[in-house]
Amino acid sequence: MKIGVVTFPGSLDDGDAARAARYAGAEAVRLWHADPDLHGVDAVVLPGGFSYGDYLRCGAIARFAPVMETITKAANDGLPVLGICNGFQILCEAHLLPGALTRNQHLHFRNRDQRIQIENTQTAWTRDFTGSQEIVIPVKNGEGCYVGSPELLDQLEADGQIVARYVGENPNGSMRDIAAVRNEAGNVVGIMPHPEHAIDLLTGPSTDGLGFFTSVLKAYAAASVPAPYQPGVVPPAEDAPEEVEA
């Protein structure tokens, strides 16, 4: 499986995301923001790292990158996409995910190991976790406060689109302690904490983050397996010759 990792101007976590993809057993393919070609990847990661310096709203400029036009079309067709931190912001700005990310309520940058609870395992990026599983991965952001209207938040709750919540102290004031959300189909996930920084104990607080990357490999494998045989059901012959009238 090939996982593409996009580099935007100012990105600093693209290398870590590519490393996490390789740790999971995938081939990491580096994608450049100005190149609309996805080079045949089977999934995409939009990494964190202050793309374009965050001079406007986070992700507001990056969403217009040529590669994002291709990713948006592919995501709407089912391509698994994971947006981490700044990547989460880009997905919201590109309208691939609902809601928005704003300045932390306390107006301070937060950088620490954070406990979160996985709320939904029915996505391409969380199927390797168990329901209500608590994991520890780093969080580092200045604009990580997830916001939405009460109606939107109620809808996300009802549809199971909240993927993860903060446990304990909320690091940025996100409404309803939301740390990650998904689209309706479940192939697009945005998460504010950084799973790519928790893939081995040498460099992170845990290996909990690796599950996001192994999950998409399993989703890809499951999608590649033919439908099980059903007695009495004859599959259509794709290359059957056309009937010729006598």
Residue 238 is predicted with a pLDDT of 45
pTM: 0.89
Decide if 120 contacts 157 (C-beta within 8 A).
Answer: no
Residue 133 is predicted with a pLDDT of 98
Query: Residues 18-48: pLDDT tens digits?
Result: 999 999 999 999 999 999 999 999 999 999 8
Residue 148 is predicted with a pLDDT of 97
Residue 96 is predicted with a pLDDT of 98
Per-domain boundaries in the chain: 2-224
User: Which candidate, 120, 51, 117, places its Cα nearest to that of 85?
Assistant: 51
Where in the sequence numbering do the catalytic residues fall? 85, 194, 196
- In CATH, what number does 2-224 get? 3.40.50.880
Query: Residues 181-203: pLDDT tens digits?
Result: 999 999 999 999 999 999 999 99
Asked whether the CA dihedral 161, 65, 27, 25 is positive or negative, the reply is negative
Residue 106 is predicted with a pLDDT of 92
DSSP 3-state of 19: helix
CA distance 219 to 198: 21
Angle at 172 between CA 57 and CA 79, to 5 degrees: 60
10 is written with which tokens?
Answer: 């100012």
Residue 170 is predicted with a pLDDT of 96
pLDDT in tens, the chain (246 residues): 999 999 998 888 999 999 999 999 999 999 999 999 999 999 999 998 766 655 667 777 888 999 999 999 999 999 999 999 999 999 999 999 999 999 999 988 889 999 999 999 999 999 999 999 999 999 998 889 999 999 999 999 999 999 999 999 999 999 999 999 999 999 999 999 999 999 999 999 999 999 999 999 999 999 876 545 445 544 454 444 444 454
